[in-house]
Amino acid sequence: MKQGPTIYQRRIVIGAVFCAAAFALVGVRLVDVTLFKPHTGGVETVDRPLTARNDIVDRNGELLARDLPVVDLYALPHTLSDKDGAARDLARVTGADYARLIDGFDNTRHPYVLVARRLTPDVQANVMHLGLPGLEFEPAAKRFYPDGRATAQLLGVTDPDGKGVSGLEQGLNGALRETGAGKPVQLSVDMRVQYILGSEVEDARKTFGAEKAGGIVMNVRTGEIVAMVSLPDFDPNFRQFTGDDSDHNIMAADRYELGSVFKVLSFALALQDRTTRPDEVFSIGNGYRIGKFTIHEAEHMPATLTARDVLAHSSNIGTAQIALRSGPVRQAAFLTSLGLLKPLHSELPEFARPLYPDHWGIIETATIGFGHGIAVEPLAYVSAAASVVNGGRRIVPTFLKTDADRRGAQVIAPETSAELRGLLRYVVTNGTGRKADIPGYDVGGKTGSAEKPGKHGYQSHVLVTSFFAAFPIEDPRYVVFVLLDEPHGTKETGGIALAGSTAAPLAGRVISRIAPLLGVPQKPVTVARENT
């Protein structure tokens, strides 16, 4: 008779089974960890520096803003044997206030004293060389803008906690604070164009002694803002304003009565509705009376002008007659379709609500026709004017890079847009915009010189001059808008401060420098003509 396993043998088998199960468990876990489980640990966290906000780059990948690793320096006063000497040394190296430090070191209630925030690596090294005990460095980040003032108004700044408080830093705060992404936010801005626009506008501002000045370059098909400048500006890397520094972006946060550049829109409406023809003759005279008001010209005009010359010579009287044919209802509807009667919303948080009359009657229709009685932000005007020259489709601005044609609803017919572009070219070749004409590029545009309102009505010698330009005018790719707030005439301009002498040449200089960079082909015929 076969005997069964003894109690000891059973125990050994049970023990062996337990051992085998334990080894199997360890084996399964090993396979799981080594083959199937994705690795998480220290290595992945080192792929990018520990920063709070993502980079901002321009359309070509050039860095515009980055969080740099810095440290906050704290001291433990109870470990300092010579508190006065330590305070003196730390104040010298970090720029901290000596009195504040010594007060903090003598105050026994606080174990930690903040010595200085956002120390750069070189300052940190200098602190280390002091050899003081009881110092602690806390990692932090400092937003740095390599191009300084050139992008200040556009990018804005962040607060000490890394939250955007103005400009695109605020408008794109969500995208910039996306954790784990580490992907830079790419803007539509071209830093080369931004610099050129900024330097030319700054030169013009100095030359004409303007209070403020600004400029915008926009792609008329994608709506991308390629450059935006507002002066005076400030240095975003040093939060202290000097001189006439300002963080106010006049191109987005201010509204202006832009004057005659609005005639572009009045003519677009008139051509679209066929209420006038370019060769129709208008009587100008010495004044145009509507009720108890009389509209005058800024400069002497011939007795009669064709509609084409009304635009070319910027006749208020002629434009008023043309605008009146459209009527208030149609004019308001047209400006609404261009987005001029509502605040413009873009990635930029700054905007200005437009000002327009509550009662939109005959007088208002006439004055709005030549750009008085309505105040809009310059960016909104650029968007509207780009919409009537780009084939007649509504385009809204964006500050993010895109390759898509973002043109929307048709606001005027493509044929009307082409006809209008012909008139704008005529303004530059035969009218007030001659100084914007440059060799190699067919520029079309319109001047605008508006008197600024004061306490006692419009001030005849206090102007806002501007120029709206599109190029190449046959099939525009970009528009340029420049504005000078309170420019003064110079010896070279014969004391004249009107847009034809101030803003138009500025726009011409900007286009002559940026067009080759933007790859806009030159027109050989124009080159030849300009050089004969």
Partner 1 sequence: MVRILNTVCVALMGLSILALYHVSEQTRVASVELNRVGRAIVQEHATISVLQTEWERVAGPARIQELAAAHLGLTGTPAVQMSSFDLLPRRGDDAPLNNSPIAQASAQAADTAVPHSGL
Can you give the binding site for partner 1, defined by CB under 8 A?
8-9, 12, 16, 19, 23, 41-43, 45-50, 62-63, 66, 68-69, 121, 144, 146-148, 150, 191-192, 195-196, 199-200, 203, 438-441, 505, 508-509, 512-513, 515-516, 519, 521-522, 524, 527-532
Q: To the nearest whole angstrom, how small is the minimum distance from the Cβ of residue 73 to partner 1? A: 17
243 vs 519, beta carbon nearer partner 1: 519
CB closer to partner 1 out of 206 and 296: 206
Return d(Cα 280, Cα 282) in angstroms, integer: 7
3-state secondary structure of 456: coil
CA distance 509 to 338: 28
84 versus 203: smaller Cβ distance to partner 1: 203
Cα 50 to Cα 145: distance, rounded to the nearest angstrom: 18
DSSP state of 393: B
Cβ proximity to partner 1: between 197 and 363 the closer is 197
Q: Rounded to the nearest whole angstrom, what is the least distance from the CB of residue 526 to partner 1 in the complex?
A: 9
Between 319 and 447, whose beta carbon lies closer to partner 1?
A: 447
Sequence-distant (6+) residues with CB within 8 A of 340 are 265, 354, 374, 376, 380, 381, 384
Task: Report the residue number, 46 or 303, with the smaller CB distance to partner 1.
Answer: 46
Cα 236 to chain centroid distance, Å, stands at 15
Q: Which is nearer to partner 1, 205 or 255 (CB)?
A: 205
| CB neighbour class for 133 (10 Å; exposed up to 12, middle 13-18, buried from 19) | exposed
Positive or negative: CA dihedral 229, 164, 64, 183: negative
Q: For 30-134, list the strands marked E by DSSP.
A: 56-57, 63-75, 113-119
Query: What CA dihedral angle connects 56, 59, 62 and 67, to 10 degrees?
Result: 0
In the complex, the smallest distance separating the C-beta of residue 52 from partner 1, rounded to whole angstroms, is 13
CB of 81 to partner 1, least distance (A): 31
Q: In the Cβ-directed half-sphere of 292, how many Cα atoms lie within 13 Å? A: 0
Using an 8 Å Cβ cutoff, are 285 and 302 in contact?
Answer: no
CA-only gyration radius of the chain, Å: 33
Of 48, 52, 50, the C-alpha closest to 159 is 52
- DSSP, residue by residue, 149-169: GGGHHHH--B-TTS-B-SHHH
User: What would the two tokens of residue 307 be?
Assistant: 């509609």
Angle of helix 414-430 versus helix 263-273 axis, rounded to 10: 140
Contact indicator for 468, 385 with CB cutoff of 8 Å: yes
What whole-number distance in Å separates Cα of residue 355 and Cα of residue 374? 6
Q: How far is the CB of 508 from partner 1 (least distance, A)?
A: 6
Nearer to partner 1, 400 or 511 (CB): 511
Q: At its nearest, how many Å lie between partner 1 and the CB of residue 218?
A: 20
Give whichever of 401 and 523 is closer to partner 1, judged by the CB atom: 523
Residue 243 CB: number of other CB atoms within 10 A?
A: 7
Cα–Cα distance measured from residue 401 to residue 397, given in angstroms and rounded to the nearest whole number: 11
Active-site amino acid positions: 260
| Least distance from partner 1 to the Cβ atom of residue 505, Å | 7
User: Rounded to whole angstroms, how far apart are CA atoms 86 and 101?
Assistant: 9
Q: Find out whether 336 and 376 touch, Cβ atoms under 8 Å.
A: no
Minimum CB distance to partner 1, residue 441 (Å)? 7
Smallest distance, Å, CB 359 to partner 1?
Answer: 45
